[in-house]
C-alpha cells in the first residue's frame, strides 16, 4: 500500500484535498469515486507530504484543549461544522491532528455525523471526546460539549504538567550523578590508577571497587547500554500485561513520596472526568465506563469498573467507591453528601478542585525538597570517589611518618 495525495470535487462541487492509501494510482482514483468524489489530481505522496509521527502518533492533551476551545468559538460564530473542520485543519501544526481533521471533514461531507467520523481516528480523538460530541449532536448543544471538553482537557493538561514537573528533579539528579561518575571514572581515576600501579602496595577495598568501576565504564561500556536498552524494552513489554500493570500500578500507589502524589492525581482525574460526563447529560453507568477507560492505573480502573457494575444493581455511587480502598476517604464522603442533596455533579467538581490543588501543593513541596537533596547527593557521590582515591595515599603517608 502506498500513500497518495489528491485534489478532488465533492458531491457539492467543492474542491477538497487530502491523502489516501491505495495499491496504485488507479486504485486510489477508484476509491475516491466510490466515496462520491471526482478526482482531479492524484499523485504519490512525497516525504514532506506524509504524516510522520513519533511516540505512537498520539495527540497531546494540550492540543486537544486548544482544538475544543477553537471549535467552540467557531461554532458559536455560526460557522457550519464542515467549514469549522476546514478552518481548524489549516490552523493546527500537529500533523496527526491535521490529517484526522481532514479525513473527518471528508466523512462529514459524505453524510456521517461528526461523532461517527471522529470515532474512526482514535489516535487523535479519545473516546471521551467522541462521546461528548455525540451527546452534543443529539441534544443540539454541540458548542457546550466542546466548551466542557476544552475545560476538561485544560485541567488534565495542567495536572499532567504538575506531575512531570515533580519528576524533573529526580531525573536531573540521576542524570547529573551518572555524568559525574562517568567523567571522574574516565578522566580522573585512570591517572590515579597509574600512580597506584607504580606504588605496588595493597589497595583498600573501596579504592579497588572504584578502579573496577572505572575500568568497566572505559572498556565495557556497551554492556551498560545493553542493560539499559533491555530494561526499557522489558518495561515496555511487561507494562502491557495484566501482571505487569498490577506490579507497576502498585509501585505507583505505594512509592515513597510519589505514592500519595499519584493517589491525589488519580482522584482528581476521576472526579473531573466523571463530573464532566455526568454534567453533559450522560447516564452514570456510561459515564463510569468512559471514566474507567480514561484512567491509567489498573487499580483505579478496576475500582471504577466494579462501581459501574454495582450502581447498575441499584447501589449508590459512594458505597463501591468507599469499598474499593483505593480512593481517599474524602472522595466517597463528598459523593455521599452529593447523593443526599441531589447534587453529585457539583460535589465531584469540588473534589476535583480540592485534589488538583493538593497535587499542585504537593508538587511544589517536592520540588523545594529536591533542590537541596540534589546538592547533598552529588556531594556524597563526589566525596566517596575522592576519598576512595586518596585513601591509599593517606595510608602511605601515615606509614612513612611511623618509620
- Sorted by where each begins, the domain ranges of the chain are 2-44, 59-154, 258-360
SS3 218: helix
| Mean predicted confidence (pLDDT) in 12-20 | 70
Q: What is the pLDDT of residue 13?
A: 67
Whether pLDDT at 246 is above 50: yes
Task: Find out whether 348 and 338 touch, Cβ atoms under 8 Å.
Answer: yes
Which cell numbers in the block locate residue 83?
Answer: 467549514
Q: State how far the Cα of 16 lies from the Cα of 39, in Å rounded to an integer.
A: 9
Cα dihedral 101, 102, 105, 107, rounded to 10, equals -110
- Whole-number pLDDT of residue 58: 66
User: Averaged over 42-54, what is the pLDDT?
Assistant: 54
Judge whether residue 215 has pLDDT over 70. yes
Cα separation, 374 vs 92, in Å, equals: 39
Strand segments, DSSP code E, in 10-88 are: 15-22, 38-44
d(CA 292, CA 288): 6
> Who's near 297: CB < 8 A, 6+ residues apart?
249, 252, 253, 262, 266
CA distances from 317 to 150, 189, 305, 343 (A): 26, 63, 12, 12
Residue 47 has pLDDT above 50, yes or no: no
Cβ atoms of 192 and 396 within 8 Å: the answer is no
Q: Mean pLDDT over residues 88-110, rounded?
A: 88
Fold match flag (59-154 vs 258-360):
yes
Better pLDDT: 398 or 263: 263
| Alpha helices (H) along 92-140 | 95-109, 114-118, 127-139
Q: What percent of the chain has pLDDT over 70?
A: 90
How confident is the model at residue 55, as a pLDDT?
38
pLDDT at residue 347 is higher than 70: yes
Q: Would you say residue 156 has pLDDT above 90?
A: no
Percent of the chain with pLDDT over 90: 24
Mean pLDDT on 31-45 = 78
Q: What average pLDDT does the segment 157-182 reach? A: 80
Higher pLDDT, 12 or 109: 109
pLDDT score of 345: 87
Distance CA 212, CA 385 (A): 12
Fold that domain 258-360 belongs to in CATH: Receptor-associated Protein (1.20.81)
Which CATH architecture describes the domain 59-154?
Up-down Bundle (1.20)
Question: For residue 175, with 0-12 CB atoms within 10 Å meaning exposed, 13-18 middle and 19 or more buried, which class applies?
Answer: exposed
If one counts every other C-beta atom within 10 angstroms of the C-beta of residue 161, the result is 14
| CB burial of residue 184 (10 Å; 0-12, 13-18, 19+) | buried
Cβ contacts of residue 239 below 8 Å, gap of 6+?
A: 245, 248
Res. 182: pLDDT tops 70: yes
Q: What is the mean pLDDT of residues 44-63?
A: 58
Q: Is the pLDDT of residue 361 over 80?
A: yes
Residue 339 has pLDDT above 60, yes or no: yes
Q: Can you tell me whether residue 323 is helix, strand or coil?
A: helix
Amino acid at each position: 500500500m502506498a500513500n497518495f495525495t489528491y485534489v478532488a470535487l465533492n458531491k457539492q462541487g467543492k474542491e477538497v484535498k487530502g491523502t489516501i492509501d491505495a495499491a496504485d494510482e488507479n486504485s486510489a482514483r477508484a476509491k475516491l469515486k466510490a466515496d462520491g468524489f471526482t478526482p482531479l489530481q492524484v499523485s504519490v505522496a512525497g516525504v514532506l507530504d506524509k504524516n510522520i509521527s513519533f511516540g505512537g502518533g498520539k495527540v497531546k492533551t494540550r492540543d486537544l484543549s486548544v482544538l475544543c476551545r477553537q471549535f467552540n468559538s467557531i461554532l458559536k460564530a455560526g460557522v457550519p461544522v464542515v467549514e469549522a473542520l476546514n478552518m481548524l485543519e489549516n490552523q493546527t501544526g500537529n500533523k496527526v491532528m491535521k490529517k484526522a481533521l481532514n479525513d473527518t471533514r471528508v466523512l462529514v461531507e459524505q453524510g456521517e455525523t461528526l461523532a461517527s467520523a471522529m470515532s474512526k481516528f482514535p489516535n487523535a480523538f479519545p473516546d471521551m471526546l467522541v462521546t461528548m460530541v455525540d451527546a452534543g449532536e443529539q441534544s443540539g448543544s454541540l458548542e457546550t460539549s466542546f466548551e466542557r471538553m476544552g475545560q476538561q482537557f485544560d485541567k488534565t493538561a495542567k495536572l499532567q504538567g504538575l506531575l512531570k514537573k515533580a519528576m524533573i528533579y529526580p531525573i536531573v539528579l540521576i542524570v547529573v550523578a551518572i555524568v559525574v561518575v562517568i567523567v571522574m571514572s574516565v578522566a580522573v581515576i585512570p591517572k590515579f590508577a597509574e600512580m597506584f600501579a607504580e606504588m605496588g602496595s595493597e589497595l583498600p577495598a573501596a579504592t579497588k571497587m572504584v578502579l573496577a568501576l572505572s575500568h568497566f565504564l572505559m572498556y565495557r561500556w556497551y554492556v551498560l547500554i545493553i542493560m539499559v536498552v533491555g530494561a526499557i524494552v522489558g518495561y515496555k513489554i511487561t507494562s502491557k500485561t495484566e501482571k505487569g500493570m498490577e506490579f507497576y500500578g502498585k509501585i505507583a500507589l505505594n512509592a515513597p513520596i510519589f505514592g500519595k502524589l499519584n493517589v491525589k492525581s488519580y482522584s482528581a482525574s476521576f472526579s473531573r472526568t466523571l463530573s464532566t460526563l455526568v454534567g453533559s447529560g450522560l447516564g452514570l453507568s456510561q459515564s463510569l465506563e468512559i471514566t474507567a477507560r480514561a484512567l491509567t492505573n489498573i487499580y483505579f480502573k478496576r475500582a471504577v469498573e466494579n462501581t459501574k457494575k454495582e450502581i447498575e444493581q441499584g447501589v449508590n455511587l459512594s458505597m463501591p467507591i468507599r469499598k474499593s480502598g483505593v480512593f481517599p476517604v474524602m472522595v466517597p464522603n463528598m459523593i455521599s453528601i452529593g447523593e443526599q442533596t441531589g447534587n453529585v455533579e457539583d460535589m465531584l467538581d469540588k473534589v476535583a478542585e480540592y485534589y488538583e490543588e493538593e497535587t499542585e501543593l504537593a508538587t511544589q513541596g517536592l520540588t523545594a525538597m529536591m533542590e537541596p537533596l540534589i546538592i547533598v547527593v552529588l556531594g556524597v557521590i563526589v566525596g566517596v570517589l575522592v576519598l576512595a582515591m586518596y585513601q591509599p595515599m593517606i595510608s602511605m603517608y601515615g606509614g612513612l611518618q611511623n618509620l
